[in-house]
Amino acid sequence: MVMEIKLKHVSADYRVGPMRSPLILNNVDLQIKTGSLTAVVGHTGSGKSSLLKTMNGLLMPKEGNVYIGPYEINQKINKKELKKIRQVVGMVFQFPESQLFAETVEKDICFGPLNFGVSLSEAKKIASEVIELVGLDQSILSKSPHALSGGQKRRVAIAGILAMKPDILVLDEPGAGLDPEGKKEIMNLILRQNEEFNITTILVTHDMEDLARYMKDVIVMDKGKIVYHDSVRKLFENPKLVSDWNLDFPEARKLQLKIEQEFQIRFPSIALTEEELANSLIEVGLI
Amino acid sequence: MNKLILGRYFHGTSILHHLDPRAKLLAGIYFIFMLFLADHFYSYLLLWGFTFYVMYLSGISFKIYFRGVKPLIWLILFTVTLQILFTSGGHIYFDWGIFTISQFGVINGLYIFSRFVMIILVSTVITLTTKPMELTDAIHYFLRPLAIFKIPVNEISIMLSISLRFIPNLMDETQKIMDAQKARGAEFGEGSIFQQMKALVPIFLPLFSSSLNRAEDLANAMEIRGYQSNKKRSSFRRLKWHWKDTFCLFTLLLLTASVMLIQYFT
């Protein structure tokens, strides 16, 4: 399905008691194509999570409109439509394992589909499908979520979102707090969803290595505004941009810049991963 | 979730913010005590005046205070209606079976209403202008003499301060889990009472489990830093009594005197 995401002049803030926070999103315009894979980076408090929340109506825009395919989110939206949008946009929060509550993994995964009006037998069928998608064994379905390891819990939580059959998947730091192996598995799982089912994927990350290795497009947020939305490679080509927004280079690019400085040379192409670095070193004849 | 005003601290620089929490606590309790003694129209007028003056002094907008009264307004009106309908005496305005609206009833109703609202307003003034930690320090100070009756005052005060300290965390976490379950299509506050209660399970279970985990972490953290409740502890925050705190209590004495004069002479 064509599910383009479009934000037009979106501003938003939070209400804390009787006080309002300053604008956490300030006149944001954004367009994301169906089936694309986009990362969101930026400093803490730059509005990354809020940007994601506006996409499924958990944070209502104070001004402007959010368009998700045929749907429109603004102050006047009714509950029925909002629910439809929440089904279309699957949102995986930071540390999603903290939302697991049911006695068995199966029941927890079924929670989403059942809320969206799927029958119990159908929901169970979906549960056994998605548990395979996230690379877990069928036998886990009957276990308690609290008996699982951290990485497994995370995957069960993501399975709970995938079970809603979303067209768009929005993730807030899906790899945070996992060991390198677990992190890699989660990233691969997300990429597979994106490739095989053409699910539009947007994910917040702090990890420049992940950004360099897996992502194609990147949105940079700074003080509630989108300051950059283009390819990852172009971002790392420009050292000034990276330092302006307090971002960092991936290790391979860092080493490349260091070598350029020491040997007074310039590489013809920039390296984002070890393999690319090795290739570029061969290219200039250093090894 | 964000509508609860009572028990929330507002940062400010008013004179009330700088008063000693002990003075504020004493004054608050004393004022409430006085509310129950007053039974004359003019004394209530004076007490109302005092309440508004204190609210004005706090530098916080009146709107916020009345928002604090709102959640309780039905309970208050219910009590007042009962008072009005079942008190007899004086001039009778309306009579229907067991219900009578009499002069005494209306006056009594007004008094009860005033008491309720003023208690809420004054305690809101105190909690809005006093950091929760200062308040526990003050409570600890007043409970200290009870230690001779073998009441575990230190434990009580540390329990109080820990629970107050973690209210904001708990609120944040509740909001997060609610958002996460909403994203999975959960709806809150809809359907029959039974459905509404059932909808709370996906919030409370994760909340309980994380609270229990945190309690254990906190206990361990206190243990490894050598916390022992029976040892004498020094305090980082020290309460200091200034002349303005004495002045605050003196003002209340003055108020008492005026109320007594009014009641005596009219």
Strand-strand pairing, A217-222 and A63-68: unpaired
What pTM, to 2 d.p., does this model score?
0.77
Higher pLDDT, A82 or B6: A82
Nearest one of B147, B187, B132 to B9, comparing CA atoms = B132
**Residue A134, number of CB atoms within 10 A of its CB:** 23
Tell me if B81 is assigned to some domain: yes
Question: Residue B222 and residue B228: Cα distance in Å, rounded?
Answer: 9
Each residue's pLDDT tens digit, A139-172:
999 999 989 998 899 999 999 999 999 999 999 9
The CATH number that domain A5-248 falls under is 3.40.50.300
Is the domain of B258 the same as that of B213?
A: no
Instruction: Pick from A99, A156, A158 the residue to mutate for testing the B interface (most B CBs within 10 Å).
Output: A99
Q: Any residues with CB less than 8 A from the CB of A230 and at least 6 apart, and which?
A: A217, A218
> How do the residues of chain A divide into helix, strand and coil, expressed in percent and rounded to 5?
45, 20, 35
Instruction: Report the residue count for chain A.
Output: 287
Per DSSP, the residues of B10-34 read: ----SHHHHS-HHHHHHHHHHHHHH
pLDDT for the residue A19 = 58
Tell me if B202 is assigned to some domain: yes
Could you give phi then psi for residue B228, rounded to 5 degrees?
A: -135, 130
Question: Residue B153 and residue A126: Cα distance in Å, rounded?
Answer: 56
Determine the residue of chain B that is closest to A15 in CA distance: B2
Question: Residue B263 and residue B74: Cα distance in Å, rounded?
Answer: 31
Burial profile A9-32: b = 16 or more Cβ within 10 angstroms, e = fewer: ebbbbeeeebeeeebbbbebebeb
| List of chain A residues with pLDDT < 50 | none
How many structural domains comprise chain B?
2
Q: Which domain holds residue B183?
A: 164-228
Assess A83–B contact: CB distance below 8 Å, yes or no: yes
On the question of pLDDT at B163 being above 60, the answer is: yes
Q: Any residues with CB less than 8 A from the CB of B35 and at least 6 apart, and which?
A: B47, B114, B115, B118, B119
Is the domain of B115 the same as that of B212?
A: no
Each residue's pLDDT tens digit, B94-149:
777 777 778 888 888 889 999 999 999 998 899 889 888 888 889 889 988 988 88
pLDDT for the residue B1 = 45
**Residue B137, number of CB atoms within 10 A of its CB:** 22
Each residue's pLDDT tens digit, B215-253:
999 999 999 998 887 777 787 878 889 899 999 999 999
Each residue's pLDDT tens digit, B32-44:
999 988 888 888 9
pLDDT for the residue B3 = 52
Determine the residue of chain A that is closest to B11 in CA distance: A19
pLDDT for the residue B89 = 74
Q: Any residues with CB less than 8 A from the CB of A176 and at least 6 apart, and which?
A: A94, A95, A206
Is the domain of B205 the same as that of B127?
A: no
Is the domain of B47 the same as that of B122?
A: yes
How large a percentage of chain A has pLDDT more than 70?
A: 97
Is the domain of B87 the same as that of B124?
A: yes
Residues A150/A113, Cβ–Cβ less than 8 Å? no
Shortest distance between the Cα of A115 and any Cα of chain B, in A, equals 5
Shortest distance between the Cα of B255 and any Cα of chain A, in A, equals 32
Tell me if B255 is assigned to some domain: yes
Is the domain of B72 the same as that of B178?
A: no
Tell me if B1 is assigned to some domain: yes
Residues of chain A with CATH 3.40.50.300: 5-248
- Which chain B residues are Cβ-neighbours of A53 within 8 angstroms? 179
On the question of pLDDT at B6 being above 60, the answer is: no
Assess A67–B contact: CB distance below 8 Å, yes or no: no
**Beta bridge partners of residue A42, listed in sequence order:** A221
Tell me if B187 is assigned to some domain: yes
On the question of pLDDT at B160 being above 60, the answer is: yes
**Mean pLDDT score, B166-193:** 87
Is the domain of B219 the same as that of B88?
A: no
A79, A99, A161: residue with CB nearest B206: A99
Is the domain of B77 the same as that of B188?
A: no
Is the domain of B90 the same as that of B177?
A: no
pLDDT for the residue B59 = 86
Is the domain of B120 the same as that of B194?
A: no
Tell me if B137 is assigned to some domain: no
Is the domain of B30 the same as that of B112?
A: yes
Tell me if B158 is assigned to some domain: no
Is the domain of B216 the same as that of B249?
A: no
pLDDT for the residue A16 = 60
